[in-house]
Amino acid sequence: MTLHRGEHGVLRRLDLPEDVAYRLMLLGFVPGADVEFSGSAPGGDPRVFRVEGTEVALRRETAEQMIIDGN
Amino acid sequence: MNGAASSDLKAGSVHVFRRKTVALVGPPNSGKSTLFNRLTGLRQKVANYPGVTVEHHVGRLSLSPTVSVDIIDLPGIYSLDPRSEDERVTRDILFGQAPGITKPEAIILVLDSTNLARHLVVAAPVLGLGVPTLVVLNMCDDLHGRGGQLDTAELSQRLGAPVALISAAKNLGLEPVFEFLDGTFAIPKPVELPVLNNVPQCREWAVKVSRDTWKSPRPSPWSRRLDGVFLHPLWGPLVFLAVVVAVFQTIFTGAVPLTAAVQAGVNASGSWIQSTLPDSLFRSLLVEGVWDGVGSVVVFLPQILVLFLFIGILEDSGYLARAAVIADRTMARVGLQGKAFIPLLSAYACAVPAIMATRTIENKRDRMATILIAPFMTCSARLPVYTLVIAAFIPSRALLGPFLNSRTAAMIGLYLLGFLAALITARLLNSSVLKSARSPFILEMPPYRWPNLRSLGLRLFDRAMAFLKRAGTVILGVAIVLWVLAHVPAHDGHAPPIQESLAGAIGRSVEPLLRPLGFDWRIGVGLVTSLAAREVIVGTLGTIYGIENAEDNSAGLAAALQQNLTLGGAVALLVFFAFAMQCMSTMAVVRRETGSWKFPILQFTFMFTLAYVCAFAANRIVTALFG
């Protein structure tokens, strides 16, 4: 599902290549983590997520492969 | 282990000099470098691991007259799993498998105390090495200022290693660090650690330990507010544009008084040597070869310093990450990424530090593409040539009333030309040799912080030294070679007239190739010498036309140029300089950063061909239109 600005969700899984998923997990994007959508660059790409207190920017196609459930 | 005995004559006792090696390890944005700078100050240097493009800083700290510590500042990492170059290199050094680098006896692990749960994930593999480790939690001022708390005793129990809570930036709590470095190192106590290469387990462990020992600080309201502006759909791009304009202003206006002062200094010292030494070939070599050559590099130093000060402030404050996010989409269209925008912007001052700055781009392909197009950005060295030719051939006319002058328009046109060439080349690379689907762009955005001036100052000094060494040594070598070419064969111990020197002979031999571009042998000699560095052509032409102090006597030089070139030839010359790679220093840096001569040679050939073809076309078109 797509989050709107300021909305929280729970990360279910990462449908991404292993090395990308690895890096994201080290940054806190693990299944079960609380993820907040902070906003994006003008145009919607890249998208910025707040996880565990820090902002991380991801390109749209990577962000779309993160499956997040709403609360 | 290093130990050397030297005898103390008075007391007859023996001093043993003890040199320890300690590594600084930690995630990016943990303030590791600030701590490193605090410990080592100016006694540090940058080194490259052989064969890779990862750089590391090594510094020395003297604890006492007989005990000193070599501190290695390693790249920021989140794990020791050797997937990226940074991780591989860190691992190799910590395991003592890096050629030429002593295995560290101890590790100082630097973590951000305001970001403990995330940063602890790297503590597990590091502690698992069994090397004496001090765990340093940095930025304690930020932690306490936002209501966070840390139980260092409990954390130390859970990690089996000593823990110190400090602020490297504010110089708080550093005593335990010095005590650790001065004492005997003890290996960490065995504690329960998660399975090291299982990321979810490591993370679970990190979260559990932090929950039991740490109270997370309140989120900073400022970060949110500032991001609301900097990533705003309207304000974001506007601020970004303002920053870009400010960078240009800094390069062209801000550094002017400093540049003038440096130029004056170089001229004055050169004249002093001229007047002090007796007339001889040696004096000529010293003044015309060494002084002019090195002087032409030193003169760019103020611009580069001012630019890097500006960029350093943007970087340390955290804004640069936001700018990279804003720029990313546009850059991705030509196969680059947001992080490339700072190196490309810096290239407008000089491509040498710009290419060194591409180290922040982890993706190899994106980094290569950025390096290959950087020299197209109109660097400061092209300006003296542009100014000279434009002044000689473009009459000053008001195009848009007082707002736009024809000469300024020509200059802007040349800037655009370089920019377009960069864009088209990037596109070309993306669809042929460096084809790629868009790489995953992951950028951790650091919180906004006040830049630490001391750290900034040290980095600036570092970069200035790097620039002087890189550009300086190459240019010095080339300047001497050029001097020799212009002074051989000697006529009665004096320099021959330029036509009869080796340089002149080279100019004559390439003349047939240059005629279609509207150039003759004189310009040919200038082109040959400018292969070393673009601005050299001004001095060379001055010598050829027999004009003293060409850089100061621009009117005389312009007049001579007008006799030597048609309008078509002049435009062709401008176009040639816009596209050709005429900088030995850049080639040297590209070779270093890419690890092989293949790339600079390819780059040179491509740019030269483009320059030749476009200059030829320009000459034909302009001659046809204006006669």
pLDDT in tens, B379-401: 888 988 998 899 889 888 877 77
Measured between alpha carbons, how far is residue B159 from residues B27, B126, B178, B210 in Å? 17, 11, 20, 11
3-state SS, residue A28: coil
Q: Which of B204-208, B472-476, B548-552 has the highest mean pLDDT?
A: B204-208
Average pLDDT over residues B313-333: 87
Task: Give pLDDT tens digits for A10-53.
Answer: 988 888 888 888 888 888 888 888 898 888 888 788 899 988 87
Contact A58 B117 (CB under 8 A): no
* Nearest chain B Cα distance for residue A40, angstroms: 7
Is a pLDDT exceeding 50 seen at residue B218? yes
Chain A residues whose CB is inside 8 A of the B442 CB are 20, 23-24, 27, 56-58, 62
Is B178 in contact with B20 (CB distance < 8 Å)?
Answer: no
Domain annotation covers residue B302 = no
- The predicted pLDDT at position B422 comes to 93
Contact B443 A31 (CB under 8 A): no
- The predicted pLDDT at position B2 comes to 42
Number of domains in chain B: 1
Domain of B208, CATH number, reads: 3.40.50.300
User: Residue B7: which pLDDT band, with cuts at 50, 70 and 90?
Assistant: very low
Domain annotation covers residue B202 = yes
- Per DSSP, which regions of B451-533 are E strands? none
As a whole number, the mean pLDDT across chain B is: 84
CA nearest B77 in A: which residue?
A: A26
Chain B residues interacting with chain A (CB cutoff of 8 angstroms):
78-79, 81, 83, 114-115, 117-118, 121, 199-200, 203, 216, 219, 223, 227-228, 231-234, 236-237, 321, 324-326, 328-329, 332, 338, 438, 440-447
* Nearest chain A Cα distance for residue B324, angstroms: 10
Average pLDDT over residues B223-239: 84
Domain annotation covers residue B22 = yes
> Does any CB of chain B come closer than 8 Å to the CB of residue A10?
no
Domain annotation covers residue B448 = no
- The predicted pLDDT at position B614 comes to 95
Domain annotation covers residue B585 = no
ipTM for the predicted complex comes to 0.90
Domain annotation covers residue B449 = no
Q: Which of A17-21, B80-84, B193-197, B250-254 has the highest mean pLDDT?
A: A17-21
Range of the domain at B37: 2-217
- Tell me the pTM: 0.79
C-alpha–C-alpha distance, residues B627 and B625, integer Å: 6
Domain annotation covers residue B544 = no
- The predicted pLDDT at position B49 comes to 57
User: Residue B47: which pLDDT band, with cuts at 50, 70 and 90?
Assistant: low
Phi, psi of B84 (to 5 degrees): -105, 165
- The predicted pLDDT at position B234 comes to 86
DSSP H helices in A11-55: 18-26
C-alpha–C-alpha distance, residues B35 and B30, integer Å: 10
Q: Which helix (H) or strand (E) holds B562?
A: helix B554-564
Domain annotation covers residue B154 = yes
Residue ranges and CATH numbers for the domains of chain A are: 8-70 (2.30.30.90)
